[in-house]
Structure 1
Amino acid sequence: MSDGHLDLVLRVLDHQIVGPRRELVGKVDDLELSWTADAFVVTGLVVGPGGLSQRLPGRLGAWVGAVWRRLSTGSEPQPVVVPTTQVTDLGSPVELTEAAVEALQRSFGLERWLRRYVVGRIPGAKGGDHDEALDSGDGPATPTMSRADLTEPPVRPPAPGAQWLSALLGAPVLDEDGHRLGDLIELHTGIGNERWTLTHLQVTHSPLGTELGYHADPHQGPALLRRAFRHLQRHDVLVPVGEITEIRTEPARVVVTRSGARRHPHHDATAPRPG
């Protein structure tokens, strides 16, 4: 977390999930996004092969999804979503309430089998079976979340009408005249006591370096790489969520209003760090 916002792709997506005793219970395989009457918010963490299969490319994703559905006990299996109200801390791992951990563990037999024997054998895939407890982590610290909402179940199916973060990543962002601003690479959110409200889209013409975090931190890495990525990302912009006029997922695209006042993501972060 930096400059009062959280980078969802860099700091939450694919991060480990732990319980109150730091026991490893899974990964954040996707994020559920929902429109409310007045905001665009993160409403849940998608956990398990039902969500992961939708991020894997082409036939591979279809195959993993088919295996998951075939081995699921329900007649119409649904991906598992943990409401964000069940998140108690966001550090290097994401910490959940005891109730959410217990609910997730009831579905772990299938998830562990798929991660070990299917996902874990895909070259370059992130996965595998790990049961050890985690240390405190070396990632950036973030605020402790509010106490869980006991009126909401600890896990649930996807919310009707919700969108998933992975379906929007890489989507072209256009203004109302059809001018392409770039591709969506990151979503920023502020964290309140009750919900994670999305504030900005981060848009780039050059996604190179995104997975290494150069889009988020202009100070990291060797000086030569910093200068190279700053040059490649010089046309990046932050688009306020309030400027969105349309979101489509098939094919993916985001349409925003015309504006000449958008700022670069590093506008407030390029000053040299003290020391």
Structure 2
Amino acid sequence: MRGITNNTVQLSKWKKGTFIVGVIILLLSLLYTFLYLRHDPNFVDMGNRLAGSSLTHPLGTDHLGRDMLTRLWMGTQYTIGFSSLALFAALLIGIPIGLISGYFKGITDRVFMRIADAFLAFPDTIVAIVLAGLLGPGIGNLVLAITLVKWVNYARLVRSTVLAESEKEYIWIAKLNGLPARKIMSKHLFPHVIGHVLVMASLDFGKVILLISAFSYIGLGAQPPTPEWGAMLNELRPFFSSMPQLMLYPGFAIVLVVLFTNLLGDYLRDRFDVKKEGSV
């Protein structure tokens, strides 16, 4: 038993250490990039196309002579920025609906459950493909499609937490004292919800990044010349045999960010794990 506990502690320390190292690498990369960037990401220089690494272009240039490091950094803003926007919009929709559905129950809860069942009848990716195809190619339509897919998961998570908490004594006491439903939900129920939501959102963030990159790769997301990582992979695909590193750069960036978000999710799960805290 003691060996299992020691292994668990060592694994937790390894995750925390890996997460800290990831943060340090990310900050150093951001600092270097901010000091270095001086190229226009969309500037075409056909006389310098497919150039190798140099002091002027540390990661070389693409098939149109555009600086790869600059486009990779701009892709960070597009990929992570639009992923954050989609996830934030899903939270703005899912959390209030989950609170209202779990607190009031009745017809409100039944209507929500029927809507949720319709969205959950198919895998997230299939629904997102259908919605993105119906809305048409474009990063804005893709963000909308992902939002329409993801909000249901957060609403169900919040609803289940609220259903469990609303039966406890302190909620009944608040109701007997005449506290409005709005204040009960904001002051008593929301603090119990937010930890679970943050853990799920941090683990979901990597999935959203993969969705946006994958859809941009097949032409349903960001369109050229937008320097989004998935769109960059699609543009550079014909040159994979001659200069594979051009595709490896955005591919490695996607893997690195997804790995970092998973480590963040593990850290937050340990931080907000109510069962773990209650058992100590």
Do both proteins adopt the same fold according to a TM-score greater than 0.5, normalized to the shorter chain? Answer: no
Higher helix share: 2
Determine which structure has the larger strand proportion and give its number.
1
TM-score (norm: length of structure 1): 0.23
